Structure 1
Amino acid sequence: MSSSWPAHLDVGAVRFARPTANYEEVLAFYRDIVGLRVLAQWRNHSGYDGVVFGLPGAPVHMELLQFGESPRIPERDPENQLVLYLKGPEALAAACKRFADDGQTPVEAANPYWTDHGAVLFEDPDGWLVVLAPWTFE
Structure 2
Amino acid sequence: MSGTDTAGWPDGLSVGQVRVARPTDKLAEVERFYAGVIGLPVLYRFENHAGYDGVMLGLPGTDYHLEFTSHVDGSPCPAPTAENLLVLYFRGEAAMYELVERLAAAGHEPVEAENPYWAGVGALTFEDPDGWRVVLVPRPVF
TM-score relative to the length of structure 2: 0.89
**Corresponding residue number in structure 1 for 2:99:** 95
Decide whether aligned partners of structure 1 residues 3 and 92 sit closer, same or farther in structure 2, where only a CA change above 3 A counts.
farther
**Corresponding residue number in structure 2 for 1:29:** 33
% identity of equivalent residues: 48
Return the letter of the residue paired with 2:80.
R
Give 1:3 deviation, angstroms.
5.5
Query: CA RMSD of the aligned region, Å?
Result: 1.6
TM-score relative to the length of structure 1: 0.92
* 2:98 is the alignment partner of 1:80: no
Give 1:115 deviation, angstroms.
1.1
Unaligned runs of 5+ in 2: none
Unaligned runs of 5+ in 1: none
Moved more, 124-133 or 95-104: 95-104
**Corresponding residue number in structure 1 for 2:51:** 47
The number of residue pairs the alignment matches comes to 138
Q: Indicate which of 6, 20, 45 corresponds to 1:16.
A: 20
Corresponding residue SS for 1:4: coil
Could you say which structure has the larger radius of gyration? 2
